[in-house]
A and B are shown apart, each in its own frame.
Chain A
Amino acid sequence: MKARIQNIRSLSATIKHITLAPDAEDSFPAGAAGAFILLEIPGPGRVWKNAYSLVSGAGRRQYEIIVRRVAQSRGGSAWLHDHAEPGQLLEISGPANLFPIARAAQKHLLLSAGIGITPFLSYLPVLQRQNAAFELHHCCKLDEQEVFRPLLPKAPNITLHGSRNSLDLMTLLSAQKLNTHLYVCGPEAFMDVTIAAAKRIGWPDAKIHEESFGGATGGASFIVKLARSAMELHVAEDQTLLEALEDAGLAPPRMCRGGACGVCELPVLGGLPDHHDHYLSAAARAAGKSIMTCVSRAKTPELVLDF
């Protein structure tokens, strides 16, 4: 599906708000709160496919996303910051949703850090409209407070924390009742700390909802051997394993490209995976028998996959 860049607004030197409009049709497919789209971003000699959460529930006439320029950007976010202009056409797909509002929840506790606020921006109007009981705590760096403040409605149940330390995570989590679901979105370290804290006080897995698209940042290059396809590929520093497979003309399974959906899982026959996903259980990670190709890499110079 083709989308035209309608508007680009800088929220800060490294964060842009981008509005997309349908090119041929008059409306996009509706994306429920928490949905994301995949953007195909042209780069020198290749195409980046990045997932971005829709930040407004507004829906069908336009999609709005917020893009942070990633420091060691593999290309996608840097292109959107340096080269994207209104009027340009981009290929998009979706929306898909791996992070919906839980219907069984009687109260929603939303915790985000940095750019992880984006899915919650689409939650807020829905929760407010439903008159749902919720609390949002957003953590950001002190110097980004003024970037995020205008994005958040003023309400007693919405709090902006100018540093992660100003949020007393344990006290907040321990004070929640049995009817509360937890949603976490942000950089990997934030997710890990938050989810570990919740589990420590006995928060049941089924009530912890997480999403993070921060995993695919590149890393050391390595060799991947494909047992069934009888191929040997080089995965470059700025390339994901999934992209290496696709660039070789293969069609590996994939969907979210963010380590969240579990679709891209492939069996590992040799070498040690370096997991960056939020899908595999701790036990599955430790076993090292499978890998999420969209975000994970290798700890060993070589990885052998059953593909």
Chain B
Amino acid sequence: MGLNKSRPIYEKLRIDPQGRAHLIVTDLEALPQDTIEANLALSNIEIWVVARIARGIAASPSGSRAFRSVADLLSHLSFHLAREPVGLRLYAAGTEAFLWDVANTARAAGLGKDEIFLTQAGSLRRRVYCTHCKSMNEDAVANIATCRACGARLFVRDHFSRRLAAFMGVMVDAEVPNEIPEIEVIYP
């Protein structure tokens, strides 16, 4: 994987002491400890998680909410941000595509750079944007993906679009005619 300027740099999850209230959202079922720098024992922190497998939420700490899906979480987030008073800091932890879905939702609600913090965690699987038919493909784990909408063989580039919250997938044949690179699983 080559270095690419379009790849954002992520930091460990650290609570901004300037904030009045804090909301952590994640597409994981729990926050991996190694992504957290400071302890979260501060007051006024709420955690939203995505519990894909319905489990008892009884074990979750107070101030936490579980959502059925990422889409469900995002739609509640945009509703919540439109009503929340100034002073909130928003933290997203999870896969890269999720981070930018959250960031884009937050931007639309008027949050600025110093009110949103992104921490990459969990799987490196990629959301791939098919430049051929302009559809999204979730969870690509290899350097080559097949577009579920148009069937194109896509080379998953290292170019990440923050606006689309996805990696660019270009048709393999378009770049190197008749030459398909070996498929390697590189984003476990």
Seen from chain A, the residues whose Cβ lies within 8 Å of a Cβ on chain B are: 104-107, 173-180, 199, 201-207
Contact = CB atoms under 8 A, between A and B. Distances in A.
Contacts of A206: 112-114
A201 B18 contact: no
A173 B86 contact: yes
Contacts of B115: 178, 204
B112 A202 contact: no
A201 B86 contact: yes
Contacts of A199: 18
A201 B114 contact: no
22 contacts: A104-B112, A173-B86, A174-B85, A176-B85, A176-B86, A177-B82, A177-B85, A177-B110, A178-B81, A178-B84, A178-B86, A178-B109, A199-B18, A202-B20, A202-B88, A203-B86, A204-B18, A204-B115, A206-B112, A206-B114, A207-B86, A207-B112
B19 A202 contact: yes
Nearest to B87: A202
B1 to A, nearest CB: 33
Interface in B43-97: 81-89
B87 A203 contact: yes
**Chain B CB within 10 Å, residue with most, of A173, A177, A206:** A177
Contacts of A176: 85-86
Nearest to A198: B86
B12 to A, nearest CB: 20
B147 interface: no
A177 B85 CA distance: 4
A250 B82 CA distance: 53
Interface of B: 18-21, 81-89, 109-115
A177 B83 contact: yes
B114 A202 contact: no
B110 A105 contact: yes
B46 to A, nearest CB: 15
Contacts, number: 58
Contacts of B81: 178
B79 to A, nearest CB: 13
A135 to B, nearest CB: 13
A170 to B, nearest CB: 12
A205 B89 contact: no
Contacts of B18: 199, 202, 204
A176 B83 CA distance: 9
Given A178-B109, A178-B110, A179-B110, A202 B82 contact: no
B77 to A, nearest CB: 12
A180 B86 contact: yes
Contacts of B110: 104-107, 177-180
A205 B86 CA distance: 12
Nearest to A204: B114
Among B84, B86, B111, B115, chain A packs the most CB atoms within 10 A around the CB of B86
B112 A204 contact: yes
A203 B85 CA distance: 10
Contacts of B19: 202
Contacts of A203: 86-87
A102 to B, nearest CB: 9
A174 B84 CA distance: 10
Q: What 7 A-B pairs have minimum CB-CB distances, sorted nearest first?
A: A179-B110, A202-B87, A202-B20, A106-B110, A204-B114, A201-B87, A176-B86
